Structure 1
Amino acid sequence: MKHRGTFTSAMAALALLSGCGGGGDGGSFSSGGTASPAPSPSPSPSPTPTPSAACSLGSRQQWALGQLNEWYLFPDDLAQGLNPASFSDLNDYVDALVAPARAKRQDRFFTHVTSIKEEDAFYSSGTSAGFGVQFQAYSDPKLFVVDAYEGAPGLSAGLDRGTEILAIGTSNSNLRTIPDLVKAGGWDAVSDALGPDTEGTARVLQIRQPNSAVITISIIKRPFDIPPISSRFGTRIIDDGGRKVGYINLRTFVGPADRALREAFSNFKAQGVTEVIVDLRYNGGGLISVANLFSELLNAQRAGQVLSYETFRPSKASQNVTNIIGSQPQAIAATKVAFIGTRRTASASELVINAQRPFLGNNVALIGDNTFGKPVGQIALDRSECDDRLRAVALKTENSARQGEYYSGLASQMAVTCQAGDDIFRSLGDPQEQSISAALGFLAGRSCTPISSTASASATAGSGMHLLRPAKPNAAQLDVPGLF
């Protein structure tokens, strides 16, 4: 999750955010309303060396250490006595600094350094460069597309949900199969074979479509926008035995999601919808401000009530925020909500799910699989002369009942859960897709098998799946797992 503002993630020397990866909002410190708005903090003064020395690795390491010492949520869990000279990469040094917290599952690579320019482009407009698809890997080993974005190169070239990638190359003559790549270098070899996230990167892919047709395509990476809500399946009203059920699939919590969410809920309101399926199965997080808006749109009857809390370390208590539910003209008074999640559902997605627990009790459920487990948020600390943005875990998030600490995911915290698979051979939004069918069952009052702490949702294509991730993900890939 990310906050946005002068002190949040996307746009300022010091930005507040909370999310699975990075991100920010570029605006006031908290959005969605606050009981007492916190002032935007000022970063500690840093030395201003000459330009040639300012961005040396040693200078950047010194700056990162200083910011973590000041802002990190778990100051007692920062490694002591590290020799910066032992590290040739800034992120490797930051990883080593927060390793003690990571060992306690408090910071699983959430704290990192990214590009200010790259991240601002993603959070303000949802823009990235690549094929514009999400890949899911299976232990077979197999690689499938689970989502393809409208207007991006992948969908135009024939890649869509359920497409299997059989082989990757730079030409027809050097295609290498997925099993061969995995055998040679694990899934990192597959990520590497797909090429860098730079405009103009070309690849040849041999693919199998859901109808079993095998073809070879050429595809070139270029900039694309991620529509937060798909124009093909992102929102609809499902007639379930005469009951109107609203369905909404949010891909990522970025700035453009504001308008898309409002339009979707305006339609729900006009149709009298009070029961909703919220599909967040591949959503790795994003802006807290968008998460707060999402919660407000579900809670028209609770305007003015506390939504959530954001709490910093004691020395930064002046930055604590109480989010109040604002009155949104498009909001509905949801009476029952089914959230579809997986182990890739994280951060801002979990914030929205957790927020409904005190309000709906047994009338809110988690469908599918356990979530990732990220009840903390990052702030963005910028050093513009080096294009460095340090995303540092600096705050914890709690719902109105002060419930948080779900580091092992939300399944054990929810009053109701229903285990279900992710059927990649059916479109998202299809009432017959396994997780959506289970969600409709919950809303209709039917019983289900709860999600166990060890359960892993299965798909018809195989088990042991994970969304493909490069060794060094860019800003977009941090919050949109599987994005290429």
Structure 2
Amino acid sequence: MKPARTALSLVLALQLAACGGGGGSSSAPPTGGGGGTPTPSPTPTPAACSLSAQQDFADQVLNEWYLFPDLLATVNRNSVTNLDDYLDARVAPARAQNRDRFFTFATSIAEENALINSGASAGFGVRLSYDNTARRLFVVEAYEGAPGLAAGLDRGSEILAIGTTASNLQTVSSLFASGGSQAVANALGPSTPGTARVLRFTRPDGAIVEQTVAKTEFSITPVSSRYGALVLTDGARKIGYINLRTFIVSDAANQLRSAFATFSAQGVRELIIDLRYNGGGLVSVADTFGDLMGQGRVGQVWSRTVLRPSKSSENETRQFRTEANAIAPTKVAVITTGASASASELVTNSLIPYLGNNLALVGANSFGKPVGQFGFDLAACDLRVRAVAFKTVNANNQGDYFTGLASVVPNTCRAGDDISRPLGDPREASIAAALDFLAGRACTPIAGSGQDNAVSTAPGLTGPQAARIGLDLPDRLPLQPKRPAPAQHELPGLF
């Protein structure tokens, strides 16, 4: 299986096109970000795309590329009925050691490429989180141009009841009581355009409304036009605030360049990087982010990609590159929660050698994913197997933050995610704590950091949902179905 390097999701990827199920031949893969929505060719036969053929393909990928070859289990193929369960069973020993918390999975080539190339997704266009104890469901973010925001759902809204008609509304509390968070996710329906639900919810202004909202196709904008890039003031100091929703959309790099052009023009040297819901994405975007903070560091090491010993020839060292509007930040606060993962953590970890005590993690501990997947394609079946195949380290070769970044970032400041205030508002709890750090004011350390070794857990949560949550939990958890769609892998809580 001979790979060709390309830019795909979850920090870095390797794409193989039309690689036969159990064989070793492959055609030349496309370059770049995927190049549109592929049409399977030739038309797959049932045998070529059978579960057995998919398992053959998955075995070939894992046996050759999996980062932890000694942590692969032998599985009775007849004991499972789908490829995801087979992959979960094969990597179970790595999961038991906290090395692969459902990071290895199967997905659709077409859907993932559409997400990468244009941000295309389908749904209400809102991010949801829930209070597991109080059985309440909240909107923490809403996307411009999507039906949710148009219907009045925005940060701070609470969804009270869900139904397919006004006559069969079920309260969110009763759904939690009957089947936990999965029952709530099921009630919201599939991510299919045209799927409609009657929602009873409170608007941010407190008004309670009942409205039918239909899921549609929409494009995710990585940097919000409302609050994505702002210059805040704290006394006489100018603070650059950047909220990056995702690294997965390729245009995020250009949107970051536009933001830093503003920061550079206004003389910004201190930054708040808000990654509180950012589940990761393209390594090329993470690299651009680094370059934009690399004025005076061109040619120095940004990050390193390390594979298993048998694949060490594929290891890479990424150095800072020239960007026209790069700045040299003197102090940076990174806002994270348990939903911040992968490329979000790569950027933060890579800043440690250059900022030291002038870097802080603010909010809650991050997810803890210092490893990344390569993508291997069985094109005729629209199947992409994403398998953990590498880890990333910074210029000091630091990287094993499987319990989250709070254990490695020099400073931490614990703060809540105050959904009663808009993102970008200096009065919002995490942004206020970030401003305190930048100004030298005191803050409370995050649990699980070197400053505070207490670690909280997630009572009542099991399986994939529990494994996707960071160890230092916020009050709310991202609502996530058992088998997320491609966009939900990258943006936890997206519906």
Q: Is the 8 A contact 1:18 1:395 kept in 2?
A: no
**SS of 1:258 mapped into structure 2:** helix
Provide the C-alpha distance between the structure 2 equivalents of 1:469 and 1:90, rounded to a whole number of angstroms.
19
Q: Is the 8 A contact 1:169 1:205 kept in 2?
A: yes
Provide the C-alpha distance between the structure 2 equivalents of 1:44 and 1:411, rounded to a whole number of angstroms.
42
The equivalent position to 2:271 in structure 1, one of 276, 294, 313, is: 276
Provide the C-alpha distance between the structure 2 equivalents of 1:50 and 1:443, rounded to a whole number of angstroms.
57
**SS of 1:293 mapped into structure 2:** helix
Q: Is the 8 A contact 1:238 1:246 kept in 2?
A: yes
Q: How does 1:335-414 map to 2 (within 5 A)?
A: 335-414=330-409
1:233 aligns with 2:227: yes
Q: How does 1:276-315 map to 2 (within 5 A)?
A: 276-315=271-310
Provide the C-alpha distance between the structure 2 equivalents of 1:177 and 1:51, rounded to a whole number of angstroms.
44
Q: What is the Cα deviation at residue 52 of structure 1? A: 3.5
Distance 1:409 1:101, change over 3 A: same
Provide the C-alpha distance between the structure 1 equivalents of 2:318 and 2:259, rounded to a whole number of angstroms.
23
Q: Is the 8 A contact 1:170 1:202 kept in 2?
A: yes
Provide the C-alpha distance between the structure 2 equivalents of 1:281 and 1:51, rounded to a whole number of angstroms.
44
Query: Can you give the 5+ residue segments of structure 2 that lack an aligned partner in the other structure?
Result: 17-22, 28-41, 449-453, 458-472
Q: What is the Cα deviation at residue 212 of structure 1? A: 2.1
Provide the C-alpha distance between the structure 2 equivalents of 1:463 and 1:74, rounded to a whole number of angstroms.
30
Distance 1:50 1:277, change over 3 A: closer
1:123 aligns with 2:116: yes
Q: Is the 8 A contact 2:15 2:376 kept in 1?
A: no
1:67 aligns with 2:61: yes
Q: What is the Cα deviation at residue 301 of structure 1? A: 1.5
Provide the C-alpha distance between the structure 2 equivalents of 1:102 and 1:190, rounded to a whole number of angstroms.
26
The equivalent position to 2:438 in structure 1, one of 434, 443, 457, is: 443
- For 1:472, the equivalent position in structure 2 comes to 483
Number of residues paired by the alignment?
451
Q: Is the 8 A contact 1:24 1:123 kept in 2?
A: no
1:76 aligns with 2:70: yes
Distance 1:345 1:239, change over 3 A: same
The equivalent position to 2:80 in structure 1, one of 63, 87, 91, is: 87
**SS of 2:406 mapped into structure 1:** coil
- For 2:125, the equivalent position in structure 1 comes to 132
Could you report, residue by residue, the CA deviation over 1:83-114 in whole angstroms, capped at 9, with x for unpaired residues?
11211101100100000000001000000010
Q: What is the Cα deviation at residue 463 of structure 1? A: 6.5
Q: What is the Cα deviation at residue 316 of structure 1? A: 0.6
**SS of 1:302 mapped into structure 2:** coil
Query: Can you give the 5+ residue segments of structure 1 that lack an aligned partner in the other structure?
Result: 11-16, 28-42
Give % identity: 55
Q: Is the 8 A contact 1:7 1:380 kept in 2?
A: no
Q: What is the Cα deviation at residue 414 of structure 1? A: 1.2
- For 1:107, the equivalent position in structure 2 comes to 100
1:222 aligns with 2:216: yes
Q: What is the Cα deviation at residue 242 of structure 1? A: 1.1
Q: Is the 8 A contact 1:168 1:177 kept in 2?
A: yes
Provide the C-alpha distance between the structure 1 equivalents of 2:425 and 2:455, rounded to a whole number of angstroms.
24
Q: What is the Cα deviation at residue 126 of structure 1? A: 1.1
- For 2:90, the equivalent position in structure 1 comes to 97
Could you report, residue by residue, the CA deviation over 1:255-287 in whole angstroms, capped at 9, with x for unpaired residues?
010111000000000000010000000000011
- For 1:33, the equivalent position in structure 2 comes to none
- For 2:32, the equivalent position in structure 1 comes to none
**SS of 1:219 mapped into structure 2:** strand
Could you report, residue by residue, the CA deviation over 1:41-75 in whole angstroms, capped at 9, with x for unpaired residues?
xx933799983321111111111011100000000
User: Larger relative contact order (C-alpha < 8 A, sep ≥ 6)?
Assistant: 1
The aligned amino acid for 2:165 is S
